[in-house]
Amino acid sequence: MGQPFRFALLLSGVLTLAGPATGRAFAQATADHQYTTADVEAGSRLYVNQCSLCHGPNGDGVNGVDLRRGVFRRSVSDEDLARVITNGIAAAGMPNFRFQPAELNAILAYIRAGFDPSGTPVKVGDPARGRTIFAAKGGCATCHRVEGVGPRTAPDLSDIGAVRTPAALQRSLVDPTSAMLPINRPVRAVTKDGKTIRGRRLNEDTYTVQMIDDQERLVSLVKADLREYEIGKTSPMPPAGRTLSPEEVSDLVAYLLTLKGGL
């Protein structure tokens, strides 16, 4: 591993591990999309008094629901959850709660933070709006593929809602480079005869690399046959915050959470 590469790795490691202390820029970038720590703490107190009798201290007291892990019977968005809390579900024996808007906000924050005051409470918007943004304004569909539709240049997202938390999805949207999984990093290779190949890494070992190139061809390269070999550290995906409002990002998160694979 070359020196510059290692240095970049070190930087990203520090950012991840040091969290709030040195991750201020990231915190700033994501603040609009999150509830506050004060919300989460207030929600924690409300939850213990108002909700835990039925839902239990870990949020899994009701069959088919795991509030801490974001498993709900019908709800997807924060709006859905707010409606259920406000209206109750008579048939299931859940009463209706008359919370102030700030209190409701706090309970949602506590649920979205995974019951963890140091967790990341992500706002989850409307999935139908998110679907539209995905296809149009967000430009996501120009690179990503969902359920057999769209290009293969970027990772297929058909099951992304099953394998990522809301916080991870939000991070990927707002700061794609810091959230990019190492395996997905872009590859640039130059063969001995001068041909340049670009693509997305699929697998790698000491001697070879497998990738899908920008023409969507599966390519396997022997490193010893290359003149240059470079793993990019910057995600080719533009940060969503440049073109989308915080509400639109929360809608996209909501849509992505509905993609559960299962084909």
Residue 94 binding another protein, by CB under 8 A: no
Q: 25, 31, 149, 181: which one contacts another protein (CB under 8 A)?
A: 181
Residue 91 binding another protein, by CB under 8 A: no
CA distances from 110 to 233, 245, 253 (A): 34, 23, 18
Three-state DSSP at 20 gives coil
Smallest gap, in angstroms, from Cβ of residue 211 to another protein? 12
Residue 109 binding another protein, by CB under 8 A: no
Between 58 and 243, CB nearer to another protein: 58
Smallest gap, in angstroms, from Cβ of residue 144 to another protein? 18
Cα separation, 17 vs 171, in Å, equals: 15
Cα separation, 112 vs 162, in Å, equals: 16
Cα separation, 108 vs 40, in Å, equals: 8
Residue 21 binding another protein, by CB under 8 A: no
Please give the backbone phi and psi of residue 15, each rounded to the nearest 5 degrees, phi first.
Answer: -60, -45
Residue 164 binding another protein, by CB under 8 A: yes
Task: With CA atoms as reference, report the closest residue to 231 among 63, 2, 33.
Answer: 2
Binding segment (CB under 8 A) for another protein, from list 28-36, 49-57, 124-132, 161-169: 161-169
Cα separation, 148 vs 193, in Å, equals: 35
Smallest gap, in angstroms, from Cβ of residue 18 to another protein? 8
Q: Provide the mask over 192-231, with x wherever binding to another protein is found by CB under 8 A and - wherever it is not.
A: ----------xxxxxx------------------------
Binding segment (CB under 8 A) for another protein, from list 48-56, 76-84, 171-179, 241-249: 171-179
Smallest gap, in angstroms, from Cβ of residue 183 to another protein? 4
The conformation of residue 10, written as its DSSP 8-state character, comes to H
Residue 123 binding another protein, by CB under 8 A: no
Residue 178 binding another protein, by CB under 8 A: yes
Residue 92 binding another protein, by CB under 8 A: no
Residue in the structure block whose two tokens are 């997202």: 157
One-letter amino acid at 17 equals L
Q: Do residues 30 and 174 touch, judged by C-beta distance below 8 A?
A: yes
Binding segment (CB under 8 A) for another protein, from list 8-16, 95-103, 108-116, 149-157: 8-16
CA distances from 11 to 182, 185, 190 (A): 14, 16, 27
Helices (H), 59-100: 78-87
Q: Which residues bind another protein (CB under 8 A)?
A: 1, 6, 9, 12-13, 16-17, 19, 164-165, 168, 171, 178-183, 185, 202-207
